Amino acid sequence: MTSSDCRGFGADKAEIAGALARQGNGSARPGPLGRIFRGQGKCRGGTERILRNGGSGGRSCHRGPTCAQCTARKEITRTPPFTGRCLCKAVTFRCEAAPLWQSHCHCESCRRATASGFTSFVGVRNGTWSWTGQTPATYNSSPGVWRDFCPHCGTQMSYRSSRYPEEMHFYAATLDDPSGYQPTEHTHTDEKMPWIHLSDGLPET
């Protein structure tokens, strides 16, 4: 993106409320929700996990339990607690709950912030994590968007947005054990670099 920051991985509260209402009266349909629930562990043709930002946090796909797109996606199996750190080990964090979602982001703002081809995130709910070392420095990359980084070594640690006040998005590569990372999709692939060739079979939005 050239004129704004990362669109993030979720929906505004009003969008979520509207989708929940439509789902409740059986009027949820594939098309719009494929855009509204960008990056929320959704079924590309349905409404999988639209309660991620509230309620019980459970699954709810309008196609039902037999939805092939839902069952084909990897489940998040990382066992809490899990921890992470920056390069110099000054900034560290700990999370006591399993991730809400895990996703690769290809937007320009995240790529430039990390000087990488794309970035990988782990989304966790606020109240389940804490900084356990030095508090990171923060860069306000655009209105309502904050990127936390180590003031010593410069490692990018996390992404926050006023659009998703209940969440913290940690960079997966900061995990002490990143081998357990299990992304479920690629987001913002309309901004993907032409020299990035995806072959992992994950959904692309």
DSSP string covering 40-51, please? SS--TTS-TTTT
Where are the chain's structural domains? 13-72, 82-191
Task: Compute the average pLDDT of residues 132-152.
Answer: 96
> What pLDDT is attached to residue 57?
35
List the one residue out of 195, 185, 51, 47 whose CA is nearest residue 117.
195
Reported as a single tens digit per residue, the pLDDT across 29-42 is: 332 222 223 333 33
Confidence of residue 198 (pLDDT cuts 50, 70, 90): confident
Residue 72 scores a pLDDT above 50? no
Reported as a single tens digit per residue, the pLDDT across 90-115 is: 999 999 999 998 899 988 788 888 87
> What pLDDT is attached to residue 176?
95
Nearest 5°: the CA angle 49, 51, 54 is 145
Confidence of residue 7 (pLDDT cuts 50, 70, 90): low
This prediction's pTM: 0.64
Give me the CATH code for the 82-191 domain, please.
2.170.150.70
| Sign of the torsion formed by the C-alpha atoms of 192, 159, 72 and 25 | negative
> What pLDDT is attached to residue 8?
62
CA distances from 68 to 8, 63, 80, 177 (A): 26, 9, 28, 30
Most confident stretch, 2-16, 66-80, 100-114, 123-137: 123-137
